[in-house]
Amino acid sequence: MTQSQYVRKCPECGSINLFINKEKGEIICKDCGLVIEDKMVDFRQEWREFDSDGAEKKRRSGAPMTYTQYDMGLGTEVGQKSDLYSLSGKDRNKFFRLRKWQYRISTAIERNLKLALAELKRSSSYLKLPQSVEEEAARIYTLAVQRGLVRGRSMESVVAGALYAACRRHEVPRTLDELSEASGIEKKEIGRTYRFVTRELGITILPSNPADYIARFSSSLRLSPETQSHAVEILEKAQESELTSGRGPTGIAAAALYVSALIHGEKRTQREVADVAGVTEVTIRNRYKELLEELGLEKEIKKVKKK
């Protein structure tokens, strides 16, 4: 068996110097900053089977239990026909009633879940989200359905809201614009259901950290790793100076990246940065101005300009 098929190379620069961030499920090329794969799930089993006897012993589970299956891969029914013989009279009627209700309730919810989870899968693969996020979103959605929070709202918007929340919780934030593009639901609507669902379910979500956006933005702008890490440093300083509170995290991330690119002689226009970050040039300008004032970065930029 050759080893080479398992060694990953960066398709952009051929480097094998890759940084694997398991928490976020991202693989990033350290040399060119390209995000190679957002989704890393190893589906191979981690043991080997030599014969059917060994296989029996080593396989230790049925299908994995997962929220991305509408019934978690397990099914439940009230009783079985064969139980009937042990019952009589009242009990027998009760048995039938329970079974009927179980059937009605579960089919209504399950039918909804089946559709919703298909939609969820579609959106999350479109956004290249890691499995763990999809799983979390499915969990949130399932809870929402059980509490009847979907009533009066479109199923798709609740799915999008759940996904958005799951992304935030796993610190792989996507912007509302991206969610909107993936699901075809209006930004406003997603935001609304997101807030509603998280409030009703009592899910607390930390404000997203601008640094979480840097890797992705930087990758789509094809900036060098130096620029990227410098942008993160700038962000840290900005946070100490309390420039970040109350501001949109994407705007701050975009401005930090813009400044960092200037300093490293990899100038991108405000327009370009604004587009990938999903904010306007004006916002970048404002944050940019604040960054310069607070952190005294003017000298560094002038240095580069002279060259």
> Which residues of this protein are in contact with DNA, per CB under 7 A?
188, 191-192, 195, 246-248, 251, 267, 269-271, 278-283, 285-289
Supply the minimum distance, in Å, between the C-beta of residue 166 and DNA.
19
Burial, 35: exposed, middle or buried (Cβ in 10 Å; 0-12, 13-18, 19+)? middle
Nearer to DNA, 37 or 275 (CB): 275
What values do phi and psi take at 56, rounded to 5? -55, -40
CA 91, 93, 99, 102 torsion-angle sign: negative
Nearer to DNA, 182 or 277 (CB): 277
Q: Distance between CA 232 and CA 14 in Å, rounded?
A: 25
Supply the minimum distance, in Å, between the C-beta of residue 165 and DNA.
14
**Secondary structure letter of residue 6 according to DSSP:** G
Nearer to DNA, 171 or 290 (CB): 290
Supply the minimum distance, in Å, between the C-beta of residue 199 and DNA.
10
Q: Distance between CA 213 and CA 248 in Å, rounded?
A: 12
Supply the minimum distance, in Å, between the C-beta of residue 243 and DNA.
10
Nearer to DNA, 160 or 279 (CB): 279
Nearer to DNA, 139 or 264 (CB): 264
Shortest CA distance to 125 belongs to which of 15, 199, 226, 41? 41
CB-based contact 252:259 (threshold 8 Å):
no
Supply the minimum distance, in Å, between the C-beta of residue 59 and DNA.
48
| C-alpha distances out from residue 220 to 28, 31, 84, 223, Å | 12, 15, 64, 8
Q: Distance between CA 134 and CA 131 in Å, rounded?
A: 5
Supply the minimum distance, in Å, between the C-beta of residue 100 and DNA.
41
